[in-house]
Homo-oligomer: A and B are copies of this chain.
Amino acid sequence: MLSYNELYDKVNNYIDNMSYNAQPEGLYAPIKYVLSLGGKRIRPILMLMAYNLYHEEVDDILPNAIALETYHNFTLLHDDLMDRADMRRGNMTVHKKWDDNTAILSGDAMLIMAYKLFTESSNDFESKPYQTHLLKALQTFNAATLGVCDGQQYDVEFESRNDVREEEYMEMIRLKTSLLLACALKIGAELADASEEDAENLYQFGEKMGLAFQLQDDLLDVYGDPAVFGKQIGGDILCNKKTFMLINAFNMANAEQKSQLKEWISKTDFVPAEKIKAVTAIYDAVGIKEVCNHKIESLFTQALQYLSSVNIDESKKGELKAFANRLLKRNK
Residues in A lying within 8 Å of B, measured CB to CB: 21, 23-24, 26-27, 78, 81-82, 101, 104-105, 107-109, 111-113, 115-116, 119-120, 125-126, 128, 131-132, 134-136, 138-139, 142, 145-146, 149-150, 152-154, 156-157
Q: Do A104 and B131 have beta carbons less than 8 Å apart? A: no
| Nearest CB of B to A107, in Å | 8
Given A108-B111, A111-B108, answer yes or no on A101-B142 (Cβ-Cβ < 8 Å): no
Known: A101-B156, A131-B131. 15 other contacts (CB 8 A): A24-B154, A24-B157, A27-B149, A27-B150, A81-B104, A104-B104, A105-B156, A108-B111, A109-B150, A111-B112, A112-B146, A116-B142, A119-B142, A120-B139, A128-B128
Closest B residue to A27 using CB positions: B153
Contacts of A78 in B (CB 8 A): 104-105, 108
| Nearest CB of B to A187, in Å | 14
CA distance A249 to B163 in the complex (A): 62
| Nearest CB of B to A40, in Å | 23
Contacts of A154 in B (CB 8 A): 24
Contacts of A126 in B (CB 8 A): 132
Q: Do A146 and B116 have beta carbons less than 8 Å apart? A: yes
CA distance A194 to B108 in the complex (A): 31
Closest B residue to A152 using CB positions: B105
CA distance A109 to B112 in the complex (A): 12
| Nearest CB of B to A71, in Å | 9
Q: Do B135 and A125 have beta carbons less than 8 Å apart? A: yes
CA distance A82 to B27 in the complex (A): 14
Q: Do B157 and A26 have beta carbons less than 8 Å apart? A: yes
Contacts of A26 in B (CB 8 A): 153, 156-157
Q: Do B27 and A109 have beta carbons less than 8 Å apart? A: no
Q: Do B145 and A112 have beta carbons less than 8 Å apart? A: yes
Q: Do A21 and B146 have beta carbons less than 8 Å apart? A: yes
Contacts of A132 in B (CB 8 A): 125-126, 131
CA distance A120 to B157 in the complex (A): 29
| Nearest CB of B to A225, in Å | 33
Contacts of A145 in B (CB 8 A): 112, 115
CA distance A157 to B29 in the complex (A): 14
Contacts of A104 in B (CB 8 A): 78, 81-82, 104
Q: Do A135 and B136 have beta carbons less than 8 Å apart? A: no
CA distance A47 to B136 in the complex (A): 25
CA distance A42 to B120 in the complex (A): 28
Closest B residue to A116 using CB positions: B142
| Nearest CB of B to A48, in Å | 22
CA distance A128 to B127 in the complex (A): 9
Contacts of A150 in B (CB 8 A): 21, 23-24, 27, 109
Closest B residue to A81 using CB positions: B104
| Nearest CB of B to A96, in Å | 16
CA distance A116 to B112 in the complex (A): 13
Q: Do A138 and B119 have beta carbons less than 8 Å apart? A: yes
Given A24-B150, A112-B145, answer yes or no on A119-B135 (Cβ-Cβ < 8 Å): yes
CA distance A81 to B95 in the complex (A): 15
Q: Could you jot down 9 A-B contacts, CB within 8 Å? A: A24-B150, A26-B156, A105-B149, A111-B112, A112-B142, A119-B138, A120-B139, A120-B142, A134-B135
